[in-house]
Amino acid sequence: MNTSILNEQDYYRIVYGGWLGKNIGGTLGAPVEGVKELLELTFYPELPDGPLENDDLDLQLVWLHALEQYGPGLTARELGQEWLEHIFFPFDEYGYALTNLRRGLHAPVAGWFNNPFNNCMGSPIRSEIWAMAAPGAPETAAHYAYQDAIVDHAGGEGVYGEMFFAALESAIFFEKDRDRLIEIGMSYIPEDCRTAKALKDLLRWHQEGKSWTETRLLILEHHGSDNFTDAPQNIAFTILGWLYGTDFEDAILKAVNCGYDTDCTAATLGAILGMLLGPEGLPAKWVKPVGDRVVVSPPIKGFPAPKNLDELTRRTILMGKQILAAWNTGIIVHPDLPTSWNRLGAAGEADKTIRELWERKVTSNLYLLPQGTKSCPDAELSIDFGTDGPAIGVGQRKVLQFTLTNRSLTPIYGKIALDLPSGWEGPTPLEISLQPDESFQWDTEILAGAVAAASHELAFRWTRSHDHAVWAVQKVTFALVSSSRWMVWGPDGGAGKEMYVPGNRVEWEKALGLNSVRLPADGVYRAQTTLTNPVERKLRLIAAANSPVTLKLNGQIVIECNETLEFMPAYHRAPQEQWVELTLEAGSHQIEVEAIRNGCPLEVYILPVALHDTTSPGPYYYYTDILLG
């Protein structure tokens, strides 16, 4: 192996510069987050004593804590646990992923299922911790970025955005050329993903000599989204600032003045430039107002967060030393020897293991056996929930696909079975034998019982035999959430049709068999279900729609939106015309929804969430104990 040396003082200044740049950019962009117009910022807004709180940095403090707890073997499973313990943000994909995690789902399924925000910026903004903890090892940084992003963005552009930035930033330790760094980052994402396409066009427009404002408009025209947090446009804005900026100040101002997800674009570019320039290369006028402080948002809690950038840097480096050794990178952090990089061949290019991550199915979860194994497992178990995800309705049938693979060096044999909730029906146990690297696929149908619940716990049971006797039993528990039952009607009237909804979207087209052959008609679509609330509570009831929408609660109109608004099914920022706050008695309530289709497929999400003011844990969280159907 070729050994590279990273001088510890160099390591410190690059990491400190990155965290300082992150604080500067986040503080600049936070006050104008979500403004879609071309901006004219020239400096910070009026600040309190120090930097502004920002989820761009907050979440990475939790990931540092996760690394300290679980070590270099950290995976999406442990990161999901960190969300449950320490993160109480309701924002967009955060809120949906937390809902899934609270109901017992795991990544990547938890980040994909019922999540309309997996193409957004929540994960690309979390890349620096992985780059700094894997300095000069972009493939390792991209691996951690993938594990992180699939918790709340699986199957979406958010995953690719985080892998792109993590690889690019890790490469800064051995490469300083801007164009080469962008090239390295792009090698870690699929060429045909939306993020890669936006970046390719950005680079071409810059080379053609178009101004930064012309390029901004072209990005929005070809890669834009009404949702200001959509990742491809914002990642392009971040790199736009880098391409067109003449220095640190000019670069972060151009990025932020593109508008949209401004705290993210400015914070990420600030981190990149801070890593390249070091703290001594950042202008004093930008450094002085934020200083060395770390400010943590109130919904991030329950762990020892670093008090300042120096502590954050030193703790990051401590974990980086462990990761470099554990991953056998050939990179040594040395207190005295000068930095010397010895990377042969196509340094920084994504290898086969990274490309395999792009192909992993988001409808299935993978388990290494025995559970707790991080590498070299004896067996692998894949549970594929299918395109409808891990949901099942009362009395509904569902097919689950289990694949057990022998990863040991010897043949194994035994019995596989499913442990089901009381009142459910499923397959009888099955005896199997597997040679090394042989797989057995078990497609099995289950029938749910008559009792609805927020989630149901099941278990795959592998009973290994030896010499015709039971040797060991391993159980892998997993959850299925309740589908909701609706009656739906199309604009032509007639009898209603029953449908099961696996998430929160009322899918009229699917229920009524409408497709490219049998085209859906415009007009009024209706749906009806029962909402069951276990305790009296105040809540926000949302009918987020891309069309005019009306919601009746027990026959009374409580939401009446007569215009088409920006579709925003977020717990905390759905349009005001599409939600109502009320006190809901315990018991069953009738919900009726009407939506007016006008030329495009209907998207309507029904969401019962908490109010802003809660005693614990945070605002606008989803009430998982409220059932629909």
Asked if residue 150 and residue 23 are part of one domain, the reply reads yes
Asked if residue 508 and residue 422 are part of one domain, the reply reads no
Asked if residue 171 and residue 143 are part of one domain, the reply reads yes
Mean pLDDT of all residues in 262-279 = 98
Asked if residue 420 and residue 313 are part of one domain, the reply reads no
Domain count, the chain: 3
Instruction: Examine the pLDDT at 38 and tell me if it is beyond 50.
Output: yes
Asked if residue 588 and residue 472 are part of one domain, the reply reads no
Annotation-wise, does 263 bind a ligand?
A: yes
Cβ atoms of 564 and 620 within 8 Å: the answer is no
Helices marked H in 30-127: 55-70, 76-86, 92-102, 109-112
The predicted structure's pLDDT at residue 345: 45
- Compute CA distances 134 → 71, 72, 195, 358, 364, whole Å: 13, 10, 23, 20, 28
Q: Which of 430, 452, 481 is the last residue of a domain?
A: 481
Annotation-wise, does 192 bind a ligand?
A: no
Asked if residue 473 and residue 509 are part of one domain, the reply reads no
Asked if residue 227 and residue 369 are part of one domain, the reply reads no
The predicted structure's pLDDT at residue 516: 61
Which domain CATH number covers 73? 1.10.4080.10
Percent of the chain with pLDDT over 70: 99
Q: Each residue of 141-189: pLDDT tens digit?
A: 999 999 999 999 999 999 999 999 999 999 999 999 999 999 999 999 9
Determine whether 321 is exposed, middle or buried from the number of CB atoms within 10 Å of its CB (0-12, 13-18, 19+). middle
Asked if residue 176 and residue 317 are part of one domain, the reply reads yes
Sheet holding 579-584, edge to edge: 579-584, 537-545, 604-609
Asked if residue 226 and residue 83 are part of one domain, the reply reads yes
The predicted structure's pLDDT at residue 346: 47
Q: Is 65 helix (H, G, I), strand (E, B) or coil?
A: helix
Range of the domain at 227: 4-355
The predicted structure's pLDDT at residue 347: 54
Q: Which of 355, 384, 414 is the last residue of a domain?
A: 355
Asked if residue 128 and residue 247 are part of one domain, the reply reads yes
Which domain CATH number covers 493? 3.90.182.10
- Alpha-carbon span 135 to 173, nearest angstrom: 6
Please tell me the least confidently modeled range out of 20-29, 427-436, 610-619.
Answer: 610-619
- Compute CA distances 536 → 10, 582, 586, whole Å: 58, 11, 5
pTM of this prediction exceeds 0.85: yes
Asked if residue 523 and residue 412 are part of one domain, the reply reads no
> Which positions ≥6 away from 345 have C-beta within 8 Å?
none
Percentages (nearest 5) of helix, strand, coil residues in the chain: 35, 25, 40
pLDDT-derived band at 348, boundaries 50, 70, 90: low
The mean of the pLDDT values for the chain is 96
Instruction: Examine the pLDDT at 1 and tell me if it is beyond 70.
Output: no
Token pair of 436 as six digits: 């090394």
pLDDT-derived band at 517, boundaries 50, 70, 90: low
Q: Each residue of 291-344: pLDDT tens digit?
A: 999 999 999 999 999 999 999 999 999 999 999 999 999 999 999 999 999 975
pLDDT-derived band at 49, boundaries 50, 70, 90: confident
The predicted structure's pLDDT at residue 134: 98
Q: Which of 330, 355, 380 is the last residue of a domain?
A: 355
- Alpha-carbon span 54 to 262, nearest angstrom: 11
Residue 14, Cα to own-chain centre: how many angstroms?
Answer: 27
Asked if residue 119 and residue 148 are part of one domain, the reply reads yes
The predicted structure's pLDDT at residue 513: 84
CB burial readout 28-51, b (16+ within 10 A) else e: bbbebbeeeeebebeebeeeeebb
Which domain CATH number covers 433? 2.60.40.10
Please tell me the least confidently modeled range out of 348-357, 465-474, 550-559.
Answer: 348-357
